[in-house]
Amino acid sequence: MRANSKGEFRFAELLPGEYKLVTHELMDTDPSALLPGRQPYGFPPVYFPGAPDLTSASPIQLKAGQTFEAALLLVRQPYYQVRIPVADDIENAAIAVSVQGHNSPGYSLGYNPEKQRIEGLLPNGTYLVLTETYGPNAATGIVNITVSGAPVEGPKMVLSPHSWVRLNVNEDFLSKEWNETGTWSDGKHTFELHGPRLYLQASLDPVGDLDLQAGRSIRPPTKPDDELVIEDVAPGRYRLRVSSARGYAASATAGGVDLLREPLAVSVGSSPTIDITLRDDFAEIDGMLTNFSTVPDAAAKPGYSRFSRPSAYIYFVPQPDGTGQYKQIVAYAEGKFNAKNIAPGNYLVLAFRKPMNLPYDDIEAMRIYEPKGQKIQLAAGQKEKLELQIISSSE
């Protein structure tokens, strides 16, 4: 979004939720400042309402129909030349710069292939410069630099290959009736699939605002009985996502860290193993929408039953203090619903007339929904009854 000549800007049609506001740096284009030998100046990024980085910036909570006015103050500062030699050619790479080592976008540097170095201009401050290459031999390099009133020649950046993360799955199932089989082909070979390889999906999604690395999933099998591996994982912090067509993830740990609650930290050269335990002692809910009403659909064709359409969309949002897993179901005739195969845990349950794209994994963004829903705690094998109100579109 660009501001106009008066410095005004407008973000329209934002969904309700939590946002942070940031500017990107802008170099001073005054002709007198561009003369050879002159000190270059620019306007560094601003993190609303004036925080030093995005991590400490104040979130903006937006409700439906709300208009929020934000004022940003840009401060002109001197910029200094930065040069970081690179051990390997990184012409086809992405470069990210974060202030004070926090995930804070807005700054930028470029790559000079002739000099084989990263270079550009930065104001005073401490920065983390991260470079990531792509392809079969993907690698990442990280360098810390401090700019203090003078040009900087940084240490040489050395790139390290990305990591492999192995999954060790323990099947702790009560039911022994699973007998599904399948196959997978890479165009040259066909492999028979069984066990977790057949029904388990897992991925690692980057945590933070600056991560270059996209999410990574379990690689396809390369041979019969191939191990479960997520490869090409750059250094950083990741949220583990697990879904299974059989059972649910009762626990997932790596090095003593509970990955159902905390992110996985992948360091340079590490090869962590994630231990996952799957169980099938689900909880079940019979529910009723207390403010349900059957309003005829004027657009329905003759003979069309309004009861064949969903009357509400119900969301089970796991809470940070539990092991629940996100789930969506629908209610049909008379406002009744039945939720089977709910993983044990603590939930915020919400009902809407229309489908919602909830930021269910963002704790702060979900706080605006807490007064509107109902919190429940489900134990393994528990059967529970629930009365729930549909949230009005005006709330």
Query: Closest by alpha carbon to 319, among 373, 274, 357?
Result: 373
Q: What global pTM score does this model have?
A: 0.71
Residue 33 pLDDT: 67
Residue positions counted in the chain: 395
- Rounded to the nearest integer, the mean pLDDT of the chain is 86
Residue 377 pLDDT: 93
Mean pLDDT across 45-63: 86
The whole-angstrom separation of Cα 57 and Cα 209 is 12
Mean pLDDT across 98-107: 77
Max mean pLDDT among 100-109, 134-143, 271-280 falls in: 271-280
Q: Residue-wise over 242-257: b if at least 16 C-beta within 10 A, else e?
A: bebebbbbbebbbeeb
3-state secondary structure of 31: helix
Residue 101 pLDDT: 61
Mean pLDDT across 196-221: 81
Q: Is the pLDDT of residue 154 over 50?
A: yes
Q: Is the pLDDT of residue 208 over 70?
A: no
Angle at 170 between CA 165 and CA 171, to 5 degrees: 135
Evaluate whether 80-161 and 283-388 have a shared fold: yes
Which amino acid, 104? S
Reported as a pLDDT band with limits 50, 70 and 90, residue 304 is very low
Residue 148 pLDDT: 95
Reported as a pLDDT band with limits 50, 70 and 90, residue 31 is confident
Who has greater pLDDT, 270 or 151? 151
110-112 β-sheet, strand order:
110-112, 117-122, 80-85, 152-153
- Name the superfamily (CATH) of residues 80-161: Immunoglobulins (2.60.40.10)
Mean pLDDT across 124-146: 87
The whole-angstrom separation of Cα 361 and Cα 349 is 14
- Work out the percent of the chain whose per-residue pLDDT is above 90: 41
Reported as a pLDDT band with limits 50, 70 and 90, residue 295 is very low
Domain ranges of the chain: 80-161, 163-279, 283-388
Residue 77 pLDDT: 94
Question: In CATH, what class is 283-388?
Answer: mainly beta
Q: Following DSSP, what letter does each residue of 43-88 receive, concatenated?
A: E---BTTTBSSSTTSPPEEE-TT-----------EE-EEEEEEBSS
Reported as a pLDDT band with limits 50, 70 and 90, residue 310 is low
The whole-angstrom separation of Cα 97 and Cα 129 is 5
Reported as a pLDDT band with limits 50, 70 and 90, residue 256 is very high
Q: Is the pLDDT of residue 180 over 70?
A: yes
